[in-house]
Chains A and B, each alone.
Chain A
Amino acid sequence: MTRLNVYYDTRCGLCTSMVRWLAGQRQLLPVLCVPKSEGVDDLVVTADTGEMWRGDSAWLMVIWALDEFRDLSYKLGKPSLLPFARQAFATLSANRGLLSQWLGLKADEDIAARLRNVPVQECAL
């Protein structure tokens, strides 16, 4: 396994801020964040070896890729803490729209929509 692909929801402000935060963290293996297609509702992580993780497993994989949180990811992956981790992620995921609103986090889609409305002068060459 040499790289991970993370498929995130571009309409969610929380996901967009997380992606931006990920880019600044020290990664133990390269993580590529890709906007996901419409049909899928979960967070999806794939590896170049063909494995795929969905939902809370995907979230554990994302923090596993970071140097600072790798120990935490192993701890949360153990049977004693896994139900708690699943619950935490499920709660965050279900309320991500609301959380984005409260925290004022802008989603990729919102920013793209605003940029489309910016008048751009024709290039006169």
Chain B
Amino acid sequence: MNAFKNFLTANRTKRTLELNTFKLNMFKKEDKLMFIVHTYLLYLALSIAVTVWVARTLHKNGRTFLIDAFHGNEALADSVNHLLVVGFYLINVGWIVATLRTYQEVNTGRVLMELLSDKIGTVLIVLGIMHFLNIFIFSRMRRRALDRRPDAPPPIPPSGYLHPQVQPR
């Protein structure tokens, strides 16, 4: 900032004090615009990369849960897996893109980093919540399937037996 460099002691003849505070010209207008574009592009690239990574993890590792949940029917498990991943992408990419806009003035590298960290941090937290929700859904489906196996145990021990039980001597 150039405000206090030399004008306080100069121009005694004019008996005026020129303050240079508003002649700050650190960046040209085009450069100012570039900061925000860079921010948006970085935000989109990083958020979508992380979303793709999480979706692929869920797709690969959730398959095992689903196969168990559908009693070994692999075709059905793959189909449901794919549908869940599509839904996951829709919600997450939709949310990322919908919350892209910011009204913050981005003029410095510092503001860029801080804004990016705010936005990407929120995206990661939402992805984390979706991830745990998916795991919860997978494990509930598997639990229901396991409880319905033909050899599932009764919920309560019997009150007695019809046939006399062999007593160990």
Contacts and interface: CB of A to CB of B under 8 A. Distances in A.
Interface of A: 1, 28-29, 46-47, 50-55, 57-58, 60-61, 64, 67, 70-71, 73-74, 76-77, 82
B156 interface: yes
Contacts of A52: 158-162
Interface of B: 144, 147-148, 150, 152, 154-163
Question: Considering the complex of A and B, which 5 residue pairs feature the smallest CB-CB distances, nearest first?
Answer: A77-B155, A51-B158, A54-B159, A50-B163, A73-B155
A67 to B, nearest CB: 7
B147 A1 contact: no
A61 B160 contact: no
A8 to B, nearest CB: 16
Given A70-B147, A70-B148, A71-B144, A55 B159 contact: yes
Contacts of A71: 144, 147
A74 B154 CA distance: 8
A28 B148 contact: yes
B144 A46 contact: no
Contact of A74 (B155, B158, B163): B155
B159 to A, nearest CB: 4
Given A51-B158, A54-B160, 15 more contacts: A1-B154, A28-B148, A47-B158, A51-B154, A51-B162, A52-B160, A52-B162, A53-B158, A60-B155, A60-B156, A64-B155, A70-B152, A71-B147, A74-B147, A74-B155
Nearest to B159: A54
A61 B161 contact: no
Nearest to A28: B148
A50 B162 contact: yes
